[in-house]
């Protein structure tokens, strides 16, 4: 009987740990999700400082999701799924942005909440990817590319903050 009870306790502990891992993956307090463990602690912190500054000054939220591979999925679908789960941004304004980088697939995407669509339009997100991030990625400077991409988005939101939530 003791062995049976110990087995149940062990099973419960394993399930609790696995459940906790799943929940911490989507915690928004950090907003840098690096499942590939690509960033060093210093790189992570430098990018997070930009995210934190925007959150504290404006309230808009940027998330960065770095993965090894899309495993055959389209980046548009994957990024949208993650953005919907994270619910970045303030509910009243829907002013969240998710920057997704799939390292092995050599793809990136900026998913923009509707409250920021007047500030970070599709063509602007495309320019950030093409002209700011991609040149750094081609040089092997992935962290610098991500940092500059986040910094560009932050700058645009701070500059045009009066347009947040204005969907007319």
Looking at residue 1, what is its pLDDT?
53
CATH 3.10.310.50 for the 31-163 domain, yes or no: yes
What percent of the chain is predicted at pLDDT more than 70? 81
Look-up of token digits 């645009």: 156
Name the residue among 75, 118, 70 with its Cα closest to residue 98: 75
Residue 112 · residue 100 · CB < 8 Å: no
Residue 84 · residue 52 · CB < 8 Å: no
Looking at residue 165, what is its pLDDT?
76
Q: Residue 88 burial (CB < 10 Å; 0-12/13-18/19+)?
A: buried
Residue 18 · residue 2 · CB < 8 Å: no
Per-residue pLDDT of 66-92, as tens digits, reads 999 999 999 999 999 999 999 999 999
Per-residue pLDDT of 7-56, as tens digits, reads 444 333 334 444 333 333 344 568 999 998 999 999 999 999 999 999 99
């Amino acid at each position: 009987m003791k062995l049976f009870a110990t087995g149940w306790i062990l099973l419960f502990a394993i399930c609790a740990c696995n459940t906790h891992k799943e929940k911490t993956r989507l915690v928004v307090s950090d907003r840098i999700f690096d499942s590939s463990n690509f960033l060093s602690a210093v790189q992570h912190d430098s990018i997070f400082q930009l995210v934190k500054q925007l959150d504290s000054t404006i309230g808009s939220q940027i998330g960065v999701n770095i993965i090894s591979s899309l495993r055959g999925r389209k980046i548009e679908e994957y990024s949208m799924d993650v953005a919907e789960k994270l619910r970045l941004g303030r509910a009243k304004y829907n002013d969240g942005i998710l920057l997704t980088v799939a390292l092995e697939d050599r793809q990136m995407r900026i998913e923009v909440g509707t409250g920021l669509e007047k500030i970070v339009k599709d063509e602007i997100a495309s320019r950030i990817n093409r002209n700011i991030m991609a040149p750094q990625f081609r040089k092997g400077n992935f962290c610098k590319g991500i940092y500059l991409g986040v910094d560009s988005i932050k700058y645009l939101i701070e500059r045009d903050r009066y347009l947040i939530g204005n969907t007319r």
